[in-house]
Every structure is written in C-alpha cells, then in structure tokens.
Structure 1
Amino acid sequence: MGNYIIRRILNNNAFVSTNANGQEIVVMGKGIAFQKKAGDRVPHARAEQVFQLSQENTSRFQELVARIPMNYAVLSEKIIQMASERLGKPLDENIYITITDHIYSAVQRYQNGLVIRNTMRWEIQRYYPDEYAVGLQAAQMIREALSVPFAEDEAAFMALHFVNAQTGIEIGQMYEVTELIHAICDIVHRHFAMDFDITSLAYCRFLTHVKFFAQRLMLGTYYGDDDSELLLAVRSKYPEAYACTQEIAAYIASTRGQHLGEEEELYLTVHIARVTKP
C-alpha cells in the first residue's frame, strides 16, 4: 500500500507530506499525527482525506487546517463535491480555503450567539438561483453534521463563495456586482413601468447578460467602441430600449466613473428590447 513520509505536522489529525511528483499534500485522518514527528512514515491506509492544492494556495490551506478541527475540512470536501456536481461546472480550488474558513467562522459566530443577517439575501436568491440552491443544501448538511441552526442567510453567504469559485471575483466585489445587477434591473423596471416575467426565456437571457456585464465592469474588461454602425441601427430600431441603456450608462458613470463602450451599449440595448417586448 505504501507510506506517507511526514514533512511537517499541522495538528494531531493532519500533516504535510509529498506525492510521487514531489508536490506537497495535506494528509488527514483521526489521530493520524498523534505522537508522530517529521520523518516518520504513515501507511496510506490511515489517511481519510488527502488534499493537493497549487503552490499558490497550499500554504494558506495548511495554515487553515492547522487551526480548525478535522471534521470541518471533511464536511467542506463533501459540500464542494455536492456543489460541483449540482452546478456542473469546475470550481476554482480556492473554494477549499474560502468555504472551509467561512463554515468554521460562521459556526463560531452561532455558538457565541452572533447571527448576522444577509441584507442582500433576496437579490442573491434571485440573481444566482443555482448557487443559492447549493447554499441551501450546504446549510442543511451543516445543520445535520454539526447541529448548528444555520439560517437561510448563511445559504446566501455561501452562494457567493460558489459564484466566486466560478468567476474568480473576490467576495467583496461579488456584493458590488450583485448591487449593480439589482440597480440595472431596477432602472429597466422603472423606465418601462413593468414587472419582469422571471419565468420567460427573454428574462433568463437578459439576466445572464447583465450578470456577465456587471462582472466585466468589476474586472475592467468590458467591451470597447467597435460597433458604431450596428449601434446606430439598433438605436433606431429600439429607441426606448436605447434610452434606458443611456440611463444605465449615466448611472454607471456617476457611481463607478466608468464609460460604456458602443459594443456594451449595443448588446445591453438588444437584451432590454427583448425583455421588455410586450
């Protein structure tokens, strides 16, 4: 079966070793490092969990594992596996650090009687329904495993971690993205004095575009000025949608100091026209 050679002990339940390629790994198991020291050998069969992260993340993960009980890392692994399967998308490995740290910190808060309300829970649930559903299931898994009465607010907090693991945008910025999505939808709602049919394909396409549009703004990678002629045509065909786009552009300029290029205005106008079509 082979053995792991201990390079560094993190706690009684975890140590650092290397794999066949010389990459550092974190090996976990109940009492696996108890009364052990660097250089000792541990049979592979003793390991309950083995984590291999990139060099960029491995030191942060090791630091986290060293200060938390093993069951948090094991539970996080199960939650991440569930999330990956339900979302059907690859998740950045940084999720092993962020979601584990969040769960541990949140449980400590609950045990100390400190429950934080998520003021953007409704927006997160509406704009990221898949990730929110994963957050709800994760909260249920935590309640069952740790007997902590996690509220739905925690599902919203965790949902953004899963969004972050797909987009690479920091959690703090994800709140800004969500606020921006809400502001854009509100401008369209007020301009046309209408409610969205959230079950329609047009709304789904509109919301998807707005989410990626907001993410581009946050990352500073939004489209430029390459579609003047086509924009003129779209502007002529959808004058009200274009006027709404100009409201959005003015809002972004005043709140973020960013200028929308013609291509961004073009696509935004087309999606607004579709979602507001009678």
Structure 2
Amino acid sequence: MVPAFFAPIFQNGKGGAPVGVYIIRRILNNNAFVSTDEQGKEIVVMGKGIAFQHTSGDRVPQQRAEQVFRLSEENSGRFQELAARIPMSYAVLSEKIIHQAEKRLKGPLNESIYITITDHIYSAAQRYRDGLVIRNTMLWEIQRYYPDEYAAGLEAAATVRETLDLPFAEDEAAFLALHFVNAELGVEINQIYEVTELIQSVCDIVRRHFSMEFDPTSMAYYRFITHVKFFAQRLMLGSYYEEDDSELLDAIRAKHPDAYACTREITDLIEQKRGYRLGSEEELYLTVHIARVTKH
C-alpha cells in the first residue's frame, strides 16, 4: 500500500497502469528521477536502473516504474536529496515500516516520517556495518512514556533485522519510536526531548506528592501518560486551552483536593520553566487524570 503522502499514479507498475511515459526533469541516480504529474506537481519515479543511460528530457515508459511518489511542496527537496544518495531498497523498507506503524498506532503519521525514518535507518545501517553501536540514553523513558510508539519501534526494528540482517535491538527501537512520536505530535526531534523531560517532571511531582509508584500496566496510567504527553506537546507549540471552566474546576477541586494540590505544584513548575500559568481547563483535566491514576 502506497501512503497518501506518496500518492501513486499507479502502484508498482502493475495492474491497470495507464499507458504513457514519464518525462525526466532531473536524474537523482540510476534508480530514480524527478518528473511531473498531470497537474504539473513534482513526482519521484523509482525503479531498478530506470534512469541508467538517460538524460533530462528523455521519456521513460510508465511500465518501468516500480514506485511513484508524489511529494508535498514542503518536503519535496528533502526527499529528492535523500533519494539521490540512498539505495531504493531503503525507501521500500521504510514504506513497509511506516505502514506497519500507522496500523499499530491507528492513524496516519505526518509526512515528514518518510524522510526522517528512511534517513535514520540508512544512517544506522551504515553505523552498524562500521561496528558503531549507539546506546539510547532515554530508553527507559521512551519505554515508559511512549509505550505504543515503542511497540511500533520494536516491530520496525524486527523488520529491519529480517530485511537487512542487522542487529537492530531495543536501543534502535527506541530511536525509531521517537520518530513516530515526532510524526504524531508534529514537533521537531529536539522538542521531543523537551516534551519527554516535561513528562518526567510531571510524573516525579505526582510520585512525590502521593508517595507512590505508577502501575505502567494499568489503564489509568495509560490515560494519564497520554494526556500528559499531549499536554506537553501543546506547551511546546504554544497551543493552550483558553476556555474558562472555573465553576467545574471548583467542583473537581472539592471532590479531589489532594489531586488538585498536586496539580497546583505542576502549575507552579510550568510557570517557572515555561513562563506560562495554566488556565482552569488545563488544571481541570490534569486534576481528573491525577485523581484517576492515584486512586487505590
């Protein structure tokens, strides 16, 4: 299945492919070139040896194409640069991995994933072949705070192992998970580290306040972490809940005074670190999730 971001003119050059040709606009390597579609949008056409001994302006039968990628304008240049320097097999592998991840995560990922995950897998493969293995210092946090994405990372690492015969393991699965998080949240990788640090700080406050440890297998914990993750994302993007739910917050505060006191500690931390004071709606949702996750 070719993803919507890489909307196909036809799939894999088989079955109902229209009769016609692609006009080469720019050659990327022997296996890829840039052309345009019927709307004049740039596409990247891939196939084994498809551009060999060709030049710009040449016509190539559509039947020779194995994959046809239609890129958004924002990412066109970056993908073309990537396609020019890596073997086509990595684009095929990445497409499979992304499709697996979207199925597991139950939703589409930001189009940037097709660039970042392909580049990461190719670079990591080069490192492994050179005997350079990088440990992921955030492995524990990623396993704990992004369980779904980490599960997708483990599946992706297994696919890489089977395809490339490389020992992709837990550390690499965690790196891949961060790319999935990035594509879900729509923030840059460096911001993902900030998001993770903020999640860690919030969890530390809750643990200290209630003198407890979380049960990472519980549904309450899963809901709590999911809320905190997107709460942290909104802070990074400067997107906040603006509605005033002070009356409902008063009711929740009366019902869960200890959870609300914990929320106020988090509010003070956010104001100190981010210069933003949480509104009543943000405090309301945090209090509800804290009350649930700390319920014995």
TM-score, normalized by the shorter chain, greater than 0.5: yes
Query: Which residue does 1:215 correspond to in 2?
Result: 233
Query: Which residue does 1:24 correspond to in 2?
Result: 42
Query: Does 2:21 match 1:3?
Result: yes
Aligned with residue 184 of structure 2, among 163, 166, 169:
166
Contact residue 144 and residue 216 of structure 2 kept, 8 A: no
Aligned with residue 147 of structure 1, among 162, 165, 169:
165
Aligned with residue 263 of structure 2, among 217, 221, 245:
245
Aligned with residue 126 of structure 1, among 144, 160, 178:
144
Distance 2:245 2:100 in 1: 42
Distance 1:123 1:117 in 2: 14
Deviation string, structure 1 residues 3-61 (Cα, Å, up to 9, x no partner)? 11111100111000111222111011111101101111111121111111111111110
Query: Which residue does 1:180 correspond to in 2?
Result: 198
Query: Does 2:272 match 1:272?
Result: no
Distance 1:201 1:149 in 2: 33
SS at match of 1:10: strand
How many pairs does the alignment contain?
278
Aligned with residue 104 of structure 2, among 86, 96, 100:
86
Query: Which residue does 1:104 correspond to in 2?
Result: 122
Distance 1:216 1:69 in 2: 37
Query: Does 2:137 match 1:137?
Result: no
SS at match of 1:221: coil
Query: Does 2:278 match 1:260?
Result: yes
Question: Could you state the TM-score of these two structures normalised by the residue count of structure 2?
Answer: 0.89
Contact residue 224 and residue 260 of structure 1 kept, 8 A: no
Query: Does 2:215 match 1:197?
Result: yes
Question: Could you state the TM-score of these two structures normalised by the residue count of structure 1?
Answer: 0.95
Aligned with residue 92 of structure 2, among 70, 74, 81:
74
Query: Which residue does 2:245 correspond to in 1?
Result: 227
Distance 2:215 2:168 in 1: 31
SS at match of 2:44: strand
Query: Which residue does 2:65 correspond to in 1?
Result: 47
Letter in 2 for 1:182: Q
Distance 2:159 2:258 in 1: 47
Distance 1:114 1:97 in 2: 22
Letter in 2 for 1:234: I
Runs ≥4 residues deviating over 4 A: none
Letter in 2 for 1:245: T
SS at match of 1:63: helix
Distance 2:283 2:100 in 1: 38
Query: Which residue does 2:175 correspond to in 1?
Result: 157
CA RMSD of aligned residues (A): 1.5
Deviation string, structure 1 residues 127-176 (Cα, Å, up to 9, x no partner)? 22221111111111112222222231111111111122122111111111
SS at match of 2:60: strand
Contact residue 154 and residue 169 of structure 2 kept, 8 A: no
Contact residue 154 and residue 170 of structure 2 kept, 8 A: yes
Deviation string, structure 1 residues 176-225 (Cα, Å, up to 9, x no partner)? 11121122112111111112233333222222211111111111112246
Structure 2 unaligned blocks of 5 or more = 1-18
